[in-house]
Structure 1
């Protein structure tokens, strides 16, 4: 599936979750529900995917985990915060860089309209 179509489809599923739950819940609730929706839509999806850091040719587990990875291609970093901050974007880019992923979505569910809480992220490596 082309990245743009995949991204739009996942955004649509995230909007469905947000419409059903509304803002104000913990990030974990949105993560579980979105994972469920993506999996039921037939996509290859992983939750809490561990990412290691390579240091001096050794892979080291430092506790980095991607919230959701779709089709081994699209990184989803989910938040439920008052406002997205630069550190949230940096976190998303770090996961993308560590895994060699080009596309990501940073999604803040704590907004009235979910479209206002979505940032598309592209990593140029």
Structure 2
């Protein structure tokens, strides 16, 4: 069952964009099934986003700051859709807290409000969770 970590006082943030992105995920899974590696799903997902004309940037480096100073380290989310939605893609048996923490940290570091954690590796369906920061 999908998990939505939405702050209920904020409502469904960007639900139209969320549905569009998840629709692309479902199409990739329905076409490819489970069992492939993350890079394969990444490429398929990028192609599906192009077909659906969903704007995205793949693996864009985002600078990290500490007390106003830019650090030499950056973080690189799998995808940024619609200029401000982070999509982290996995191909594992099931999502775990480490995967969730990664997305939460990405949201915190970027200042973005919405993130999707998508797992193509689940045997019977696309596993997905939505996070609001």
Aligned pair count reads 121
Structure with higher RCO (Cα < 8 A, 6+ apart):
2
After the TM superposition, which segments of 4 or more aligned residues of structure 1 sit over 6 Å from their partners?
none
- Counterpart for residue 30 of structure 1: 41
- 1:78-114 deviation line (CA, Å, top 9, x unaligned): 0011221101011001111111111111011011333
The answer as to whether partners of 1:47 and 1:68 remain within 8 angstroms in 2 is yes
Q: Which residue of 1 aligns with 2:104?
A: 93
Superposition RMSD in Å: 1.5
Specify the alignment match of 1:120 in structure 2.
130
**Structure whose residues are more often helix by fraction:** 1
Deviation at 1:30, TM superposition (A): 0.7
| TM-score, L = length of structure 2 | 0.84
* Alignment gaps of 5+ in structure 2: 1-12
2:1 corresponds to 1:6 = no
Q: 2:78 aligns to what SS in structure 1?
A: strand
Q: What is the rounded CA distance, in whole Å, between the counterparts of 1:100 and 1:114 in structure 2?
A: 30
CA distance in 1, matches of 2:80, 2:51: 15
Change (3 A) 1:113 1:9: farther
Match of 2:89 among 78, 86, 104: 78
Contact in 1 for aligned 2:64/2:74 (Cα 8 Å): no
Alpha-carbon distance in structure 1 between the residues aligned to 2:86 and 2:131:
9
Unaligned segments of structure 1, at least 5 residues? none
> Cα–Cα, structure 1 residues 12 and 113, in superposed 2: closer, same or farther, change >3 Å?
farther
Q: Which moved more, 1:61-70 or 1:3-12?
A: 61-70
Aligned residues of 1:50 and 1:64 also touching (Cα < 8 A): yes
